[in-house]
Amino acid sequence: MEGEATTSAGPSAKTSRRGAEERCGRRAAAEQALPGRPRPAAGGMSASRGAGRALAALLLAASALSAVLLAPGGSQEPDLDKKRHVELKMDQALLLIHNELLGANLAVYWKSGCCYQCLFQFLVNVSQSGKPGKPSIAVVSVSTQHGSILQVNDTLEKKEVCRLEYKFGEFGNYSLLVKHTYNGVNESACDLVVNKNPVNSNLPISIAFLVGLALIIAISFLRLLLSLYGFNSWISKAINSQETDRLINSELGSLSRADPLSADYQPETQHLSASLHRLRSVDTFRGIALILMVFVNYGGGKYWYFKHSSWNGLTVADLVFPWFVFIMGTSIFLSMTSILQQGCSKFKLLGKIAWRSFLLICIGVVIVNPNYCLGPLSWDKVRIPGVLQRLGVTYFVVAALELLFSNPVPENCTLERSCPSFQDITSSWPQWLFILMLESVWLVLTFLLPIPGCPTGYLGPGGIGDLGKYPNCTGGAAGYIDRLLLGDDHLYQHPSSTVLYHTEVAYDPEGILGTINSIVMAFLGVQAGKILLYYKDQTKVILIRFAAWCCILGLISIALTKVSTNEGFIPINKNLWSISYVTTLSSFAFLILLVLYPVVDVKRLWTGAPFFYPGMNSILVYVGHEVFENYFPFQWKLEDNQSHKEHLTQNIVATALWVLIAYILYRKKIFWKI
């Protein structure tokens, strides 16, 4: 996911890596996964089992329908592209620069409108016009992902002729006319003319959205029919009482054997509830993030908003990993409370926590170092940080912290169903003190650590950013600490900042300093778990607290960022895992729980399908989608490799297949634990 190269303007610009290099870049930076052992399904939901079969069939139908609607068509490459011998790639347009100025050689420069305080990059030279009415023409490709800023200079008189900003469309054909104007004063002017309209590159994703919407409407209509015509009772009668008893006994048996250390486990503590009700909203939340991560990792149709932001700001791809971290924290508290109430010793539990963290780190090192991409690797080139490595360290610190300062849930919370205000916070003041101290360490190192050759407190991308003043300062203190302690060769070599900022130093988005803020985010997830447990069955109280946390964290983000992408005190930045990034994504996480908890767990208006199934088997789906990424039917040869619709079709089908696999494994009660 990190390091997915996009196209830069100019004849010498590098395009997206293809073949093994492209796959290697995606695999080396895969960022979102929440490992853990999924717990057994909720018992006695026979109707939902039948609905699950229908859902699986509809899922396949949606994939097939998407494949038909997004089927590859003819080449969209304009005829002029062939005549001018410029091969357009995805997210590119053709620009013909006409120099009608006699005796003036032009140099054209370019930069992306999203590149903050960037230097202009040379695009092309255009020789002077030989005769009136016969301009010199230069042909280049320009990026269509974001708005472009073009600057035309007269190389002889060394002055700027014109500057313009324009958002080019994919596969469009444009002419930039540089000519004299005679309005009383002999001046030069630039006009942009559209020779051939661009294609609508967002049409495939719009069709896919409509297909998904139609699927949701169809399922809702089916559920309405079942409720209106009594189909539920007919289905229930079809399942004899013996089978129902077997399912319930199976649920009770599996409950007693469930591994409470699994990040997917949700406690069914007999002390708190005698029912078989489970917090399906937590698994649903995890599944949403996981399926989105699979789609993004497989390419997301090659749309820029399904790739990581080059530096400051947020894209869809930037949302997933923090949500996994958040929901992992929620599960840590719920599962640990359950096992401690069953009498397990803290020392034994600490051993399990350490072992599980070690396994996560080991699996992560294997996944981010695929030999088939780069050939056999040597130890001095192995990348050390990674997604699972970050999760393993975060899991160990947060779980050990909760274990060290764990207190039994107050009896008035479990018996009387009432808890004093702020009991969920005041009962864990030692943990809060530790987290605040840890965040202070991040702030001190980030803003006060001296960095050779770089300004103290630098948060920029380096490269051509900041007018090219600090090209080797990518990430400030975060990058410096990683390079100092781990070495350049053990870090990610193609960070997302290379796309717009042309950085040349190694930088790892899963580095050491950012781990501090991932611990903070997991602890905020712990806070959500405490709300769910301390105020169990008090739906109104739970929702009020979720809403309060959502607003508080949102206000902190507003204060830190000044509601600006780049001008705030601490911008939202996934590469740095800045504190504003954590507060913003945690605010979104509480908002999602605010919606999912009453809908899925309280009113049971939605079972969480289909996201619930991959959420129950997250480690298997994550590792599986990485290992089998390049195997059929998850990937096949495309007729047009530069077509968004073909990539989107392939990515949708691959993602749908993993949902189906997760559903089948769920029905077979096959879960991968570590």
Answer whether residue 476 shows pLDDT above 90: yes
Reply yes or no on whether the pLDDT at 465 is more than 70. yes
| Percentages (nearest 5) of helix, strand, coil residues in the chain | 50, 10, 40
Q: How far is CA 539 from the centre of its chain?
A: 30
Is there a single domain that holds both residue 486 and residue 341?
Answer: yes
Q: Which of 201, 228, 243 is the last residue of a domain?
A: 201
* Closest by Cα among 180, 155, 175, 152 to 164: 152
Amino acid letter for position 213: L
Nearest C-alpha neighbor of 658 from the set 256, 290, 186: 290
Contact 146, 304 (CB under 8 A): yes
CA distance 116 to 111: 10
According to DSSP, residue 318 is labeled G
Residue 216 lies in a domain: no
Contact in structure between 518 and 577 (CB atoms under 8 Å): yes
CB-side neighbour CA atoms (13 Å) of 591: 11
Token pair of 246 as six digits:
């077997």
**Predicted pLDDT at 116:** 93
- Percent of the chain at pLDDT > 70 equals 76
Quickly state the pLDDT bin for 375 (edges 50, 70, 90).
Answer: low
Give SS3 for 316.
helix
Does 78 have pLDDT greater than 50? Answer: no
Mean pLDDT of 295-314: 92
pLDDT at 576: 96
CATH number of 127's domain: 2.60.40
Average pLDDT over residues 333-346: 83
pLDDT at residue number 3: 40
What's the whole-number mean pLDDT along residues 80-88?
A: 60
Give the phi and the psi of residue 486 in degrees, each rounded to 5.
Answer: -105, -30
Q: Is residue 553 part of a domain?
A: yes
Q: Are residues 476 and 356 in the same domain?
A: yes
Lowest mean pLDDT among 57-61, 74-78, 306-310, 603-607: 74-78
For residues 631-643, average pLDDT: 89
Residue 184: inside a domain, yes or no? yes
Q: Provide the domain limits for residue 499.
A: 313-408+422-600
Which comes out higher in pLDDT, residue 124 or 30?
Answer: 124
Whether residue 208 is contained in a domain is answered as no
Q: Check whether 274 has a pLDDT greater than 80.
A: no
Tell whether 42 is covered by a domain: no
Residue 27 has pLDDT above 50, yes or no: no
Q: Which residue has the higher pLDDT, 608 or 419?
A: 608
Q: What angle do CA 457, 458, 461 make, to 5 degrees?
A: 155
Alpha carbon distance, N-terminus to C-terminus of the chain: 25
pLDDT tier, 66 (very low <50, low <70, confident <90, very high otherwise):
low
- Backbone region of residue 133 per phi and psi (left: phi > 0; alpha: psi in -120 to 50; beta: other values): left
Listed in sequence order, the residues at least 6 apart from 489 whose beta carbon sits closer than 8 Å to its beta carbon are 380, 381, 506
Residue 108 has pLDDT above 90, yes or no: yes
The least confident of 171-180, 260-269, 299-308, 651-660 is: 260-269
Question: What is the per-residue pLDDT for 575?
Answer: 95
Residues 400 and 544 in one domain: yes
Cα–Cα nearest to 3, from 486, 493, 475, 491 = 493
Q: 371-381 burial, b if ≥16 CB within 10 A, otherwise e?
A: eebeeeeeeee
**Closest C-alpha to 616, from 216, 291, 215:** 291
Rounded CA separation 178/189 (Å): 6
- pLDDT of 528 reads 95
Does 433 share its domain with 566? yes
Q: What's at 410, amino acid-wise?
A: P
Judged against a pLDDT cut of 80, whether residue 231 lies above it is answered with no
Q: Is 502 annotated in the active site?
A: no
Q: What's the rounded mean pLDDT across residues 169-173?
A: 93
| Residue 5 binned pLDDT confidence (cut-offs 50, 70, 90) | very low
Same-domain status, 325 and 191 = no
Tokens of 367: 């996944």
**Are 665 and 659 spatial neighbours (Cβ–Cβ below 8 Å)?**
no
Is the Cβ–Cβ distance between 5 and 257 less than 8 Å? Answer: no
Identify the three-state secondary structure at position 480. Answer: helix
Question: Which of these three, 201, 217, 252, is where a domain ends?
Answer: 201
Q: In the prediction, which pLDDT does 319 show? A: 92
Task: Flag whether 605 is in a domain.
Answer: no
Contacts of 100 (CB under 8 A, 6+ apart): 129, 135, 177, 178, 179, 180
Task: Identify whether residues 337 and 483 lie together within a single domain.
Answer: yes
Residue of 308, 490, 494, 625 marked active site: 308
Element (H, E) at 136: strand 136-143
Region 177-196: mean pLDDT is 81
Q: State the pLDDT at residue 29.
A: 40
Closest-CA residue to 625 (of 344, 291, 282, 130): 291
Residue 149 three-state SS: strand
Output the six-digit token pair for 476. Answer: 């400030």
For residue range 522-566, list pLDDT tens digits in order: 999 999 999 998 888 889 999 999 999 999 999 999 999 999 999
Q: Is the pLDDT of residue 49 over 60?
A: no
pLDDT of residue 649: 92
pLDDT at 74: 43
DSSP string, 202-233: THHHHHHHHHHHHHHHHHHHHHHHHHHTTHHH
Convert the pLDDT of each residue in 402-433 to its tens digit.
999 877 766 556 555 566 677 778 888 999 99
Q: Tell me, what's the pLDDT at 256?
A: 33
Q: Pick the most confident of 179-183, 417-421, 665-669.
A: 665-669
Domain count, the chain: 2
Residue 431 placed within a domain: yes
Which of 553, 584, 600 delimits the end of a domain?
600
Is the four-CA dihedral 344, 347, 348, 354 of positive or negative sign?
A: positive
The token duo for 202 is: 């967002």
Give CA–CA dist 412/179, Å, rounded: 82
Cis peptide before 132, with omega less than 30 degrees from 0?
no
Q: Report which of residues 87 and 193 the model is more confident about.
A: 193
Query: Which tens digits make up the pLDDT trace of 116-159?
Result: 999 999 999 998 877 777 888 999 999 999 999 999 998 887 88
CA distance 401 to 432: 10
Angle between helices 579-596 and 429-448 (to 10 degrees): 140
Confidence of residue 239 (pLDDT cuts 50, 70, 90): very low
pLDDT of residue 21: 42
Task: Give CA–CA dist 426/421, Å, rounded.
Answer: 9
Residue with tokens 């049971």: 604
Bridge partners, 141 (sequence order): 94
Of 125, 303, 149, 280, which is closest to residue 605 (Cα–Cα)?
280
Please give the residue that has the higher pLDDT: either 505 or 270.
505
Written in H, E and C, the secondary structure of 545-611 is HHHHHHHHHHHHHHHHHCCCCCCCCCCCECCCCCHHHHHHHHHHHHHHHHHHHHHHHHCCCCCCCCC
Contact present, 623 and 56 (Cβ < 8 Å): no
pLDDT score at 418: 61
DSSP run (H or E) holding 311: none
Q: What is the mean pLDDT of residues 277-305?
A: 89
Model pLDDT, residue 82: 44
Q: Which of 89-93, 223-227, 452-456 is predicted least confidently?
A: 223-227
527 in any annotated domain: yes
* Mean pLDDT over each residue of the chain, to the nearest integer: 80
Q: Is the pLDDT of residue 45 over 60?
A: no
**Cα–Cα distance between 322 and 324 in angstroms, integer?**
5
Q: Which of the residue ranges 344-358, 443-457, 583-597 would you say has the lowest mean pLDDT?
A: 344-358
CA distance 227 to 230: 6
Coil, strand or helix at 120: coil
